[in-house]
Amino acid sequence: MYLMDERHPFTAKPRISGPSERAATYRFHRRQPGTHSLWTLKPLAVWERLSRHGELPVDPALVERLDDYREAYDWMREQMALRLPRCDGYYPWWAYNYKPDLRLQRFHYGEKGERWARIELAIPKEEVLLSAYGDWHFVLNRWYYPATLVEAEHEAQLDAWMAELKQQGIDSYRINPFPKPWESRMRKSWERIFDVDELRETNTIQGTFERLKLSYVVAVTEFTSQVKRE
């Protein structure tokens, strides 16, 4: 998201992960009780800017494909404002509940040779909203989210929803927003992505938060991207 070229001032001795990866890990804060452990991959310039300024909001001008997914991102902002104690209305940062293995090509981003950072975070629970990453795609694609994880029932509810739209003459691929009450019903169904205790067995859990803070950072691994993103 941020593409600034400022060097960070930390002088901690790095742990070199291996010559083939050209990666170095720096450790900072300890994880504290009452936090969620999350990881994110960002261009190295983001980490350099964070280390100088201590805190970063998201700059909408640098959000990838914002125009394509603005409705979904705006909905997530609304949910954060409703569910978190303090929100200023910024677009969210994203992080995930697993540590990317940098030896795997799928975790390399950008152009080959670019410098990136894997950032480990410990975020206070009151400052991050957890949701199901896989099911977030119902929001991105404006799909109704059935109220069951049982496959046959899930498909039946989806079929019933689509049949209802068709009966009302609503083209789910062309009409946005839907007439009431279908738009409201669909948006209400999206809130099920926050049932992370139920969904974590079938989903990666993502965390969204308004500000990326240096005080969240547990460790940073700087690495060179090895593959070109398609």
Report if residue 107 sits inside a domain.
yes
**Which residue has tokens 């496959």?**
151
Statement to judge: residues 97 and 152 lie in one domain: no
Task: State the number of CA atoms in the 13 A half-sphere of 90 facing the CB.
Answer: 19
Report if residue 123 sits inside a domain.
yes
Contacts of 216 (CB under 8 A, 6+ apart): 29, 121, 122, 123
Statement to judge: residues 50 and 147 lie in one domain: no
For the stretch 12-68, pLDDT in tens is: 333 334 433 467 888 888 888 999 999 999 999 999 999 999 999 998 887 878 888
Statement to judge: residues 145 and 178 lie in one domain: yes
Domain tally, the chain: 2
The per-residue pLDDT for 173 is 83
The per-residue pLDDT for 14 is 38
Statement to judge: residues 144 and 52 lie in one domain: no
- Domain around 155: 136-194
Report if residue 159 sits inside a domain.
yes
Report if residue 87 sits inside a domain.
no
Report if residue 199 sits inside a domain.
no
Calpha distance 33→122 (Å, rounded):
9
Calpha distance 47→7 (Å, rounded):
9
Dihedral, CA atoms, 145, 148, 152, 154, nearest 10 degrees? -10
Nearest in space to 219 (alpha carbons), one of 2, 30, 20: 30
* For residue 201, pLDDT beyond 60: yes
* For residue 1, pLDDT beyond 50: no
Report if residue 171 sits inside a domain.
yes
* Token representation of residue 226: 């090895």
For the stretch 141-191, pLDDT in tens is: 999 999 888 889 989 999 999 999 999 999 888 888 899 899 999 999 999
Contacts of 224 (CB under 8 A, 6+ apart): 21, 22, 23, 113, 114, 115, 116
Statement to judge: residues 117 and 156 lie in one domain: no
For the stretch 93-121, pLDDT in tens is: 999 999 998 887 777 677 888 899 999 99
**Which DSSP string do the residues of 154-213 spell out, in sequence order?**
HHHHHHHHHHHHHHTT--TTT-SSPPTTHHHHHHHHHGGGG-HHHHTTTS-EEEEESEEE
The per-residue pLDDT for 13 is 34
pTM of structure: 0.84
* Token representation of residue 199: 């969904």
Statement to judge: residues 52 and 102 lie in one domain: yes
Statement to judge: residues 54 and 123 lie in one domain: yes
Statement to judge: residues 101 and 58 lie in one domain: yes
The per-residue pLDDT for 97 is 95
Contacts of 190 (CB under 8 A, 6+ apart): 75, 138, 139, 145
The per-residue pLDDT for 202 is 84
The per-residue pLDDT for 19 is 37
The per-residue pLDDT for 22 is 63
CA 199 from centre of chain = 16
Rounded to 5°, angle at Cα 79 from 74 and 82? 130
The per-residue pLDDT for 103 is 80
* For residue 229, pLDDT beyond 90: no
Statement to judge: residues 99 and 116 lie in one domain: yes
